[in-house]
């Protein structure tokens, strides 16, 4: 018989997650620049039954940059990159 869908199954055991986030903002004359950095360290039980492994498909490092111009009564425009 052929499968007709996808099944999501939780792994046995406990997933450990720890991390930190850094957020910096600079404002001057209607312009705002915001930078962010996130570090995540996560592990779960190894399916082989021995030890732990890094959680698959989970980014360890993430960064972003947002630039925006805003003037009250006129509007705002911005650009984001992650």
| pLDDT one-digit tens code per residue, 32-78 | 999 999 999 999 998 888 999 998 889 999 999 999 999 999 999 99
Check residue 78 and give its pLDDT.
Answer: 97
53-58: list long-range contacts, CB under 8 Å, 24+ apart: 55/15
pLDDT at 17 over 90: yes
Check residue 1 and give its pLDDT.
Answer: 64
CB 22 within 8 A of CB 63: no
Q: Please give the model's pTM, rounded to 2 decimal places.
A: 0.73
| pLDDT bucket at 5, cuts 50 / 70 / 90 | confident
């Amino acid at each position: 018989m052929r499968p007709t869908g996808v099944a999501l199954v939780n792994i046995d055991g406990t997933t450990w997650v720890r991390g930190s986030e850094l957020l910096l903002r600079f404002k001057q004359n209607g312009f705002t620049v915001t930078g962010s950095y996130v570090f995540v360290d996560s592990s779960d039980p190894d399916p082989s039954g021995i030890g732990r492994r890094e959680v698959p498909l989970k980014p360890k490092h993430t960064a972003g940059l947002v630039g925006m111009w805003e003037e009250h009564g006129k509007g705002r425009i911005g650009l984001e990159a992650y």
